[in-house]
Amino acid sequence: MIRVLPVLLLGALLLAGCGAEPGEPVGTAQPSERSSGSTVFAPAGIADAATLLAALRTAPEDRSQRYDRAAFGYGDGPFDPDGDGCWTRREVLVRDAVGPLRVGRGCRLTGTWRSVYDGRTTTDPDAFSLDHLVPLAEAWRSGADRWSRDRLVAYGNDVGYRWSLVAITASVNEDKGDRDPATWLPPQGRCTYAGAWVAVKTRWRLAVDPRERAALTALLRRCGPVRVAAPGAPDLAALLP
């Protein structure tokens, strides 16, 4: 059966924050409450990005071994732990749709999407890429290389937190690659991006390297208070089949 989901936007505060540049205070970045079925994305409190950053461990990146993308659950076909027919990429597209969204058989989507990194919009769900805000390679070099297989897969498919995965313009995703905020920032919404980066690293207890910390500290100082949805600890049981 085809179902039509209600209109649910990310909220004026989030949209304003995504357009902010360094030096402009941003509002609270609230997650969406849109659901594709059994997976629900809901607000879970507010956190201050600078406070989160201060608590993160500082450690040099470990580049001694190359990360394996398949270890994060990207080698065995579509990943659909809740069995609702929408795999990870589609779950994120459902959540990130702006305005009315129609979900058909096989998770066929009809709607509109806006890339929070550059403000571009599309009505083609295949035109946007799925971005791990903290890239898989970056996570690997920041402590994930010591994780269990289950934790790696849960990280690669973390639909439980608004900022872990984002649907964005493909060309911007390619430009970003696996770089951290010391060497890459999005064209728009840099304050929100910095706060989200810190929140994802907090959620997964990943370290920051000295250059990364310095860049984030300087950016957050210029931004003023940046508040993000509190990351919380990941629920592996909910993220895995």
Contacts of 238 by beta carbon, 8 Å cutoff, 6+ apart: 81, 160
Nearest partner of 56 among 220, 197, 153, judged by Cα: 197
pLDDT in tens, 57-103: 999 998 888 888 999 988 766 788 777 889 999 999 999 999 999 99
Instruction: Give φ, ψ of 97 to 5 degrees.
Output: -60, 140
Number of domains in the chain: 1
Task: Quote the percentage of the chain above a pLDDT of 90.
Answer: 70
Structure tokens at 164: 């872990």
Running DSSP on this structure, what letter comes out for residue 169? E
Separation CA 193–CA 213 (nearest Å): 14
Q: What does the pLDDT read at residue 44?
A: 55
User: Which range marks the domain in which residue 186 is found?
Assistant: 3-239
- Whether residue 34 contacts residue 102, with contact meaning beta carbons closer than 8 Å, is answered with no
List the beta bridge partners of residue 58.
208
**193-222 pLDDT, tens per residue?**
999 999 999 999 999 999 999 999 999 999
Q: Is the overall model pTM greater than 0.85, yes or no? A: no
Mean pLDDT computed over 134-157:
96
